[in-house]
Structure 1
Amino acid sequence: VLLKIADRIEQNLEILAVTETWDNGKAVRETLNADVPLAADHFRYFAGCIRAQEGGAAEINELTTAYHFHEPLGVVGQIIPWNFPLLMAAWKLAPALAAGNCVVLKPAEQTPLSIMVFAELIADLLPAGVLNIVQGFGREAGEALATSKRIAKIAFTGSTPIGAHIMHCAAENIIPSTVELGGKSPNIFFEDIMNAEPQFIEKAAEGLVLAFFNQGEVCTCPSRALVQESIYDDFMKVVMKKIVKIKRGNPLDTDTMVGAQASEQQYDKILSYLKIAQEEGAELLTGGAAERLEGDLSTGYYIQPTLLKGHNKMRVFQ
């Protein structure tokens, strides 16, 4: 079944990719080449895990043998974030289904569409009731799922405060929980990188520019960079050359590299941090404001790729 789901995803690659872009605002080049293909890969991977899984037996003594059986938990609850709606769903769905569980999945209220299209595409591959999708706001639907006595395990990807609350709910019901929470990943660049081959320096700079991948909406994005002072000027010249080449625009254009923020809330939050940073004295190297596009895109939640120079006491750094 998992292999059939993977096949179905690939057969509908363009439909799912465009839907994901409409839903989230990310560039379709990412959904076509990363998000959706990786979702299919996850279902194939866990299909392979099933074949690799073996039971175990141990001889306690000449009269006693212990057998180890892997059994499904039952019904698992899953709460998905808005930055990678389909891919994060695949991360949780594939192993849960591989282990024989039923799933109640709540997508983020900001991105409710693509998971529904996905569920419709695979509806004939799963028995009724195995995959259940509950739409709603976290305070109502997510809370109900996390506190339900009928859930055998809860899995969550999202912010650290909400993750702590999910773990508390799971502890009260004495059920296992898996949480993947926010990050603020720093990249550290020491002076010896400038002694390497030019290709290595280019790759190091690309690593920093990945801060703008998926509009920066990735918990492992290098949103902070610590650059050794002795190489700062030379290294940042390489970085800046790459940033100015980032094409912004219509997310459905396959040449667009950075699309729109996922929601007005996220858009406003980013702009507020940019304002705070400059008020605290951060030096604006590039960007720093909303992206003013024309036509139908004029009201979209677009923000310029921004690079700030400051110190680790600044709120935007922390």
Structure 2
Amino acid sequence: MAVEIGVQTFYHFINGKWEPSVNGETFDVLNPATGELVARVAKGTAEDVDRAVKAARDAYDQGDWKNMKPGDRANVLNLIAYQITEHAEELIFLESVSSGGTVRRIKSNDILQMADLFQTMAKFIVEYPFSEALPVPSFPGPAQSFIWREPIGVCAAVTPWNLPMVIATWKIAPALAMGNTIVLKPASYTPLSTLKLAEIISNVVPPGVINVVSGPGDEVGEALVTHPQVDKVAFTGSTEVGRRIMSFASGTVKKTTLELGGKSPNILLEDADLELALPGSLFGVFLHSGQLCESGTRLFVPDKIYEKVVEGLVALASKLKLGNPLDPSTDVGPVISKKQKETILSYIEAGKKEGATLALGGKEVQVPGCKKGHFIAPTIFTNVTNDMKIAKEEIFGPVLSVIRYSHLEEAIRMANDTIYGLAAGVWTRDVNQAYEVARKLQAGVVWINDWHMLRSDAPFGGYKQSGIGREMGKDSLDAYTQVKHVYTSMASELDRRPWYGILFGENEGRGEA
């Protein structure tokens, strides 16, 4: 990483070193809260991708990383967790000024979640069944069989701009835990914290084990996921782009995991504790200005308490403070860019035209000290029907659609009436009933009386078009592994081999020397 007057320049991180692009080009990273230039970053090309993949391939094929004992690799993962906490302040700053995430959230959640994930993976791999003996079978013949789980090779990770550090670790931690090497392509809006994270991790892993190439998705991303020396692709982002990633990876039949979009339903039951459910539901949709794939953007409320819930939501949301994310008193920060702001505002206009009632917000906000920032007021629509555009499509902004229902089965039907299936929630005092509802919801995670609560030891991913595979938990390790069956016959006599009679029949003499 080089330093210019007042503005940092970040290069690619390849083979343990900072490397400029082969063409020398850079692009600007702007602070979404102020519009100010934060850094210049190397603009990658397919040639830069090739350099990074070669470094990862050499580190995998020729290095000792993949052959390291699980216990020793677990020690490295714990060291990475320590390094993250040691460099927390710099990571928090870079994440906040590029993504618009509040320092309050990043410090109290993101850093801890990242460190915890590496520590959890360290625990898992000590117990992981890298080698598993099967029982001696009676058929097809006496034999000893082992199932060996081996690293898959060079992994490619393409990550989004909303939670760049956290989501990068969802790929890095299991990949490294299983002995793989990795090349990451962070989103162009937010590459800074991922580049710094790679440097931090490189302090404790061999050169080439982790590499980062920044730049546009249509060149760098496509070159990475189609590279013939890449063995596995992990992507987090929109369902639309996920379909393209899947298509690109299919050319060489790469193992692929996708964590994609969502339009998550949040169901209030009549007996819900509203003192908990109302702020919890607002947390579910307005955290990080609604720019989270699992945000609870559709709130289903029964007729009996609909007006009371709407009144309470509006009153609470009106108190949220928009501000510079570097200010610890800020509740809600900016959206990522002018383009995203315009997209969100267009959805708000669509909601009005379709007949939904704008109960709160719905407009751009000028925040003192952030003249060129991209802020949208927390927005609540009421009288929304489940077939409206704002209820069907992922907005990725601070917009809540409140939908009325008469019977619980109707709410469940509407909740599942979507192409997505990432997350869902239920609020009730009756936990047994909540479990019954959870069974019927088509989602990869269901929160009861809470939202956004992800655990490092539990899988996260979606049903339907919300993705393929799972992040975190033991399930994530399997996605970074090849499975090999090794069979050793224990029958020394020829006539005890099952294939002998199949091929030679009664011609026993043909088996004699």
TM-score (norm 2): 0.59
Structure with the greater alpha carbon radius of gyration: 2
Kindly indicate whether residue 393 of structure 2 is the aligned counterpart of residue 314 of structure 1.
no
3-state SS of paired residue (1:34): helix
1:58 aligned to 126, 134, 151, which one? 134
Q: How does 1:151-190 map to 2 (within 5 A)?
A: 151-190=230-269
> Which residue is equivalent to 2:299?
225
Equivalent position of 1:270 in the other structure: 344
Superposed displacement of residue 63, structure 1:
4.9
> Residue by residue, what CA displacement relative to the aligned partner does 1:9-59 show, whole Å, maximum 9, x if unpaired?
111222211111011011110111111211111111111111111321124
Q: Which has the higher strand share?
A: 2
Offset at 1:280? 2.2
Residue number in structure 2 paired with 1:283: 357
The farther-off stretch of 66-75 and 92-101 is 66-75
Does 1:133 pair with 2:206? no
For residue 15 of structure 1, what is the aligned residue in structure 2? Answer: 90
Gaps of 5+ in 1: 194-199
Distance 1:274 1:99 in 2: 45
AA matched with 1:234: K
Kindly indicate whether the alpha-carbon contact (under 8 Å) linking 1:26 and 1:262 is maintained by their aligned counterparts in 2: no
Q: 1: distance between equivalents of 2:200 and 2:271?
A: 51
SS of aligned partner of 2:106? helix
Of the structure 1 ranges 184-193 and 299-308, higher mean CA displacement relative to structure 2 is found in 184-193
Alpha-carbon displacement from aligned partner over 1:226-281 (angstroms, at most 9, x marks no partner): 21122111122222232122111111011111001112221111111112212222
- Which residue number in structure 2 is paired with residue 86 of structure 1? 165
**SS state of the match for residue 173, structure 1?**
coil
Q: RMSD in angstroms over aligned alpha carbons?
A: 1.4
The separation in 1 between residues aligned to 2:362 and 2:336, in whole angstroms, is 18
**2:454 maps to what in 1?**
none
Correspondence for 1:196: none
Aligned residues: 311
Shifted more, 235-244 versus 206-215: the winner is 235-244
Aligned partner letter, 1:2: L
1:146 aligns with 2:225: yes
- What is aligned with 1:45? 120
Give yes or no for the alignment of 1:242 onto 2:316.
yes
CA distance in 2 between partners of 1:218 and 1:26 (Å):
11
Residue 180 of structure 2 corresponds to residue 101 of structure 1: yes
After the TM superposition, which of the residue ranges 169-178 and 56-65 deviates more from structure 2?
A: 56-65
Could you tell me which of 47, 65, 70 is aligned with 2:149? 70
Q: Distance in 2 between matches of 1:184 and 1:13?
A: 32
| Higher mean displacement: 55-64 or 123-132 | 55-64
Amino acid at match of 1:267: K
Unaligned stretches of 5+ residues in structure 2: 1-75, 393-513
Of 91-100 and 235-244, the range deviating more from structure 2: 235-244
Flag as ranges the 4+ runs of structure 1 deviating above 6 A: none
Paired amino acid for 1:91: W
Give the Cα separation in 2 of the matches to 1:148 and 1:122.
Answer: 24
